[in-house]
Amino acid sequence: MQITFLGTSSGVPTRSRNVSAVALRLPQRAEVWLFDCGEGTQHQFLRSDFKTSQIRRIFVTHMHGDHIFGLPGLLASCGLAGNQQQPIDLYGPPQLKDYLQACRRYSQTHSSYPIRVHTTEPGKVYEDDDYIVSCERLKHRIPAHGYRVVEKDRTGHFDVKRAAALGIPPGPVYGQLKRGEVVTLPDGRKIHGADLCGPPIIGRKLVYCTDTVFCENAIKLADQADVLIHEATFAHQDADLAYQRLHSTSTMAAQVALAAQVKQLIMTHFSPRYAPGNPLQLDDLLAEAKAIFPNTLMARDFLTCDVAPAAA
Amino acid sequence: MQITFLGTSSGVPTRSRNVSAVALRLPQRAEVWLFDCGEGTQHQFLRSDFKTSQIRRIFVTHMHGDHIFGLPGLLASCGLAGNQQQPIDLYGPPQLKDYLQACRRYSQTHSSYPIRVHTTEPGKVYEDDDYIVSCERLKHRIPAHGYRVVEKDRTGHFDVKRAAALGIPPGPVYGQLKRGEVVTLPDGRKIHGADLCGPPIIGRKLVYCTDTVFCENAIKLADQADVLIHEATFAHQDADLAYQRLHSTSTMAAQVALAAQVKQLIMTHFSPRYAPGNPLQLDDLLAEAKAIFPNTLMARDFLTCDVAPAAA
Ligand SMILES: [Zn+2]
Ligand SMILES: [Zn+2]
């Protein structure tokens, strides 16, 4: 699991930061999942090393323009790219479907591939053999959801050499043993697959919380995450603005990370006000957060981070 | 009058060309008029030397996404910029108003300044003391209008020295004479203002034609223009694609320029297919056009051109 930030500014783009979007690359899949899609996200793809044609799922946190205005163009471009486009599943608030339909209707865009829009409710949003995505309601001016992506735990590495040494003939039996099943061999021996597998591989956990003021649900969603991406629109000194606009300060983001016992916090969604010239700068936001939760990073556009495998 | 191209690619952005937008800067006004507004136009403003807060009017040719998907974000950002934003008047197809309303409603964007949307019909679209904007229906897959901006002719430079030599006392009389009126002085002399003014200053004419296949209306609209901006999505060799998708080839753009007797042609809205690697390149489109109309330029993003004053 590898994340790349495609936009890290709040509200409006700046010369160096686009509005919100995070790409998630999944191992062993030529597939990208996107979280939010502010205007210009397709342009950021052009500047990155992946292609919009790899996008398979898009999770939308809420309907504010800086999180959705890139969707109509990106979905239209995917259809125009010429290469066979896989279906795209979108997840988000109930209005997402109507918004996309309106944009398609007014711009007379005819999609050449399936686009399916799903309404998110707190709880499980998506599941396949390898991943579960769930969400929780956050605390913003309009309904907003944070997302949690959990890689399922897998059985440990199967020890082929030991299986051979035990005289187990290669074949479908190996698959059963790899899955941890108990198998009776032709000679009557009972083999426990678990005995031939290494320690289970614990799945990684990535959590994305934006837009929100400090809230208990963020802590619940972020529980034990390997990486928590949390918005930090404002500095601690501007907490009044954060409460007024229902955004977070760097301190709030760090408090969520601490309370949820995550491994790493990456802050994003910064107000453009902390540009050079302001007495407060982004370095101050980082210092404020680190005082509470030391393993904190500031996102910047195109920052790429591995979500490290958890220790067994 | 000065134009700056903010996007010169057709359909989808490329690494070097954004989708359609042209900014027009008017002399003696801290005001920018925009023609079309593809996704990422507000980002192009950040990279240019003008500000979105200067935008006073936006003329939209048609409802295809690569010409309108930048509007919701740009209009929202104008409101967030913090500085007192002047009203914005938009001109375009009847669906423009509904599209913008839908985007505002779904994204819960509340505008802090007046946004007025006007439906364009062939003929006069806008007029003030200095400019007239008109439009004509072009020939595209959906209704599309080309725009013509005409600076009104002004009376020539008023010769203050000669007025003084004639013993005309300074005062409101000067204003009347400057406007070319006939004035009777207290001493009974009749003075013709025109005699004290230089030759009239002929207004400049700028025409913007996109998206369209070759059509008579484009020639009519472009008549005697100082600068004609005309789409040239395809090379002459790909004329079948142009007819099929109702776009122009470079040759068609040049034929319009020639038939309309314009002074200069600037081609834009190029298909991304003519990228390095294609046997046909943008230089070929330029050569094709120049063979028919020599005074032709290729637009590129951020190209800035003066619309030269016409000779009297
Ligand atoms: Zn928001
Ligand atoms: Zn078009």
The CATH number of whichever domain residue B51 belongs to comes to 3.60.15.10
Is A110 labeled as ligand-binding? no
Same domain? For A18 and A131 the reply is yes
Would you state the structure tokens that stand for residue A155, as one six-digit string? 């059985």
Q: Which residue matches tokens 């904190």?
A: A296
Q: Which residue matches tokens 């969603």?
A: A221
pLDDT at B91: 98
What value of ipTM does the predicted structure carry? 0.90
- Which residues in A lie closer than 8 A to residue B68 (C-beta atoms)? 106-107
Tens digit of pLDDT for each residue in A107-120? 998 888 999 999 99
Q: Helix (H, G, I), strand (E, B), or coil: what is residue A204? A: coil
If one counts the domains in chain A, the total is 2
CA distance A31 to A204: 17
Domain boundary among B145, B178, B196: B196
Same domain? For B84 and B149 the reply is yes
* Residue of B74, B106, B273, B278 to mutate, interface with A, max A Cβ within 10 Å: B106
Measure CB to CB from residue A63 to each of B11, B81, B108 and give the nearest one: B108
Same domain? For A133 and A207 the reply is yes
Which ranges constitute the DSSP H helices of B108-180? 160-165, 172-178
Domain boundary among B174, B196, B218: B196
Q: How far is the CA of B142 from the centre of ligand 2 (A)?
A: 8
Q: How far is CA A57 from CA A35, A104, A132, in A?
A: 9, 19, 13
Interchain proximity A46–B13, CB inside 8 Å: yes
Q: How many helices (H) and strands (E) does chain A have?
A: 10, 16
pLDDT at B107: 94
List residues of A whose CB lies inside 8 A of any B CB.
Answer: 11-15, 18-19, 38-40, 42-43, 46-47, 63-66, 68-70, 72-73, 76-77, 80-81, 95, 98-99, 102-103, 106-109, 141-142
Same domain? For A186 and A245 the reply is no
Tens digit of pLDDT for each residue in A45-65? 999 998 898 999 999 999 999
Whole-model pTM: value is 0.91
Give the count of beta carbons closer than 10 Å to the beta carbon of residue B211: 27
In a domain, A209, yes or no: yes
pLDDT at B131: 96
Q: Helix (H, G, I), strand (E, B), or coil: what is residue B87? A: coil
Q: How far is the CA of A145 from the centre of ligand 1 (A)?
A: 11
Same domain? For B192 and B265 the reply is no
Would you state the structure tokens that stand for residue B84, as one six-digit string? 């007192």
pLDDT grade, residue A37 (50/70/90)? very high
Q: What is the DSSP letter of A310?
A: P
Q: CA A301: distance to chain centroid?
A: 15
Same domain? For B165 and B276 the reply is no
Is B269 labeled as ligand-binding? yes
CA distance B113 to B110: 9
Same domain? For B206 and B192 the reply is no
pLDDT at A312: 45
Q: How far is the CA of B210 from the centre of ligand 2 (A)?
A: 7
In a domain, B242, yes or no: yes
Is A269 labeled as ligand-binding? yes
In a domain, B206, yes or no: yes
pLDDT grade, residue A186 (50/70/90)? confident
In a domain, B285, yes or no: yes
Tens digit of pLDDT for each residue in A248-282? 999 999 999 999 999 999 999 999 999 888 999 99
Question: Which H or E element spans position B221?
Answer: helix B216-222
Q: Which tops the pLDDT comparison, A83 or A93?
A: A93
pLDDT at A79: 77
In a domain, B311, yes or no: no
Is A66 labeled as ligand-binding? yes
Interchain proximity B12–A103, CB inside 8 Å: no
In a domain, A312, yes or no: no
B216 is in which domain, residue-wise?
2-153+202-306
Is B66 labeled as ligand-binding? yes
pLDDT at B300: 98
Query: Which residue of chain B is at minimal alpha-carbon distance from A66?
Result: B73
pLDDT at B312: 45
- Which residues in B lie closer than 8 A to residue A40 (C-beta atoms)? 39-40, 43
pLDDT of A82 above 70: no
Question: Between the ranges A188-192, A198-202, A303-307, B275-279, where is the mean pLDDT highest?
Answer: A303-307
CA distance A154 to A188: 28
pLDDT at A148: 98
Q: How far is the CA of A7 from the centre of ligand 1 (A)?
A: 14
In a domain, A280, yes or no: yes
pLDDT at A9: 97
pLDDT of A188 above 80: yes
Q: Helix (H, G, I), strand (E, B), or coil: what is residue A54? A: helix
Would you state the structure tokens that stand for residue B158, as one six-digit string? 């008023």
Low-confidence ranges of chain B (pLDDT < 70): 81-84, 310-312
Catalytic residue among B36, B49, B66, B98, which? B66
Closest ligand by atom to A12 CA = 1
Same domain? For A82 and A18 the reply is yes
Contact status, residue A16 vs residue A311, Cβ threshold 8 Å: no
Closest CA to B149 of B201, B203, B200, B202: B203
pLDDT at B199: 87
Same domain? For B145 and B165 the reply is no
Q: Which residue matches tokens 């059509």?
A: B215
Closest ligand by atom to B210 CA = 2
| Active site members of A | 66
A41 vs chain B: nearest CA distance in angstroms? 9
Same domain? For B228 and B266 the reply is yes
Same domain? For B48 and B140 the reply is yes
Domain boundary among A196, A224, A257: A196
State the average pLDDT for chain A.
93
Same domain? For A108 and A180 the reply is no
Percent of chain A predicted with pLDDT > 70: 98
pLDDT grade, residue A232 (50/70/90)? very high
B126 vs chain A: nearest CA distance in angstroms? 24
In a domain, B312, yes or no: no
Q: Helix (H, G, I), strand (E, B), or coil: what is residue A107? A: helix
